[in-house]
Amino acid sequence: MNYEADTNMTDLMTITRFVLNEQSKYPESRGDFTILLSHVVLGCKFVCSAVNKAGLAKLLGLAGDTNVQGEEQKKLDVLSNEVFVKALISSGRTCLLVSEEVEEAIFVPPSHRGKYIVVFDPLDGSSNIDCGVSIGTIFGIYMVKDETKVSLEDALQPGNKLLAAGYCMYGSSCTFVLSTGNGVNGFTLDPSLGEFILTHPNIKIPRKGKIYSVNEGNAKNWDEPTTKYVQKCKFPQDGLPPKSLRYIGSMVADIHRTLLYGGIFMYPADIKSPNGKLRLLYEVFPMSFLMEQAGGQAFTGKQRALDLVPKQIHERSSIFLGSYDDIEQMKELYAADGA
Do 218 and 165 belong together in one domain?
no
pTM for the complete prediction?
Answer: 0.92
Residue type present at position 260: L
The answer to whether residue 215 is domain-embedded is: yes
Residue 104 covered by a domain: yes
Q: CA-CA distance, 255 to 322, in Å (whole number)?
A: 8
* Confidence band for 2, pLDDT divided at 50, 70 and 90: low
Q: Alpha carbon of 300 to those of 17, 226, 317, 327: distances in Å?
A: 36, 12, 7, 10
CA distance 249 to 247: 6
In the predicted model, is pLDDT for residue 193 greater than 50?
A: yes
Q: Which residues of 273-302 are buried (b: 16+ CB within 10 A; e: fewer)?
A: eeebbbbbbbbbbbbbbbbbbbbbbbbbbe
At 264-314, the pLDDT tens digits run 999 999 999 999 999 999 999 999 999 999 999 999 999 999 999 999 999
Over the stretch 145-156, which tens digit does the pLDDT of each residue have?
Answer: 988 899 999 999
The model's confidence at residue 72, banded by pLDDT at 50, 70 and 90, is low
Q: Are 217 and 276 contained in the same domain?
A: yes
Nearest alpha carbon to residue 258 among 179, 159, 324, 311: 324
Asked whether residue 59 is domain-assigned, the answer is yes
Half-sphere exposure (CA, 13 Å, Cβ side) for 44?
34
Are both 154 and 244 inside the same structural domain? no
- Asked if the model's pLDDT at residue 323 lies above 60, the reply is yes
Structural domain ending residue among the three candidates 151, 180, 202: 202
For the ranges 13-27, 37-51, 198-212, the lowest mean pLDDT is seen at 13-27
At which of 158, 180, 202 does a domain end?
Answer: 202
Assess if residue 7 is contained within a domain. Answer: no
Q: 225 with 107, same domain?
A: no
CA distances from 15 to 42, 54, 199, 212 (A): 11, 26, 10, 31
Is 282 in the same domain as 146?
Answer: no
Say whether both 126 and 222 belong to one domain: no
Q: Which of 159, 180, 202 is the last residue of a domain?
A: 202
User: Is residue 9 domain-resident?
Assistant: no
Query: What is the per-residue pLDDT for 208?
Result: 97
Do 326 and 263 contact (CB within 8 A), yes or no? yes
Q: Are residues 52 and 195 in the same domain?
A: yes
Residue 8 lies in a domain: no
Question: CA 293, CA 285: separation in Å to the nearest integer?
Answer: 12
| Region 211-230 average pLDDT | 96
pLDDT at 181: 93
Verify that 256 and 174 share a domain, yes or no: no
Asked if 133 and 190 sit in the same domain, the reply is: yes
Q: How far apart are CA 55 and CA 124, in angstroms?
A: 18
Q: Are residues 129 and 169 in the same domain?
A: yes
CB 61 within 8 A of CB 75: yes
Going by C-beta distance under 8 Å and a sequence separation of 6 or more, which residues neighbour residue 52?
Answer: 170
Tell me how many domains the chain contains: 2
Q: What is the CATH number of the domain that holds 309?
A: 3.40.190.80
Its domain, for residue 158, covers: 15-202
**Pairing label, strands 113-124, 94-99:** parallel
Per-residue pLDDT tens digits for 22-40: 888 877 778 899 999 999 9
pLDDT band at 94 (very low <50, low <70, confident <90, very high): very high
Indicate if 49 and 66 belong to the same structural domain: yes
Predicted confidence (pLDDT) at residue 261 exceeds the cutoff of 80: yes
CATH number at residue 80: 3.30.540.10
pLDDT-wise least confident of 38-47, 190-199, 235-244, 263-272 = 235-244
Which candidate, 101, 115, 168, places its Cα nearest to that of 314? Answer: 101
96, amino acid identity? L
Same domain, 27 and 70: yes
For residue 77, is it within any domain? Answer: yes
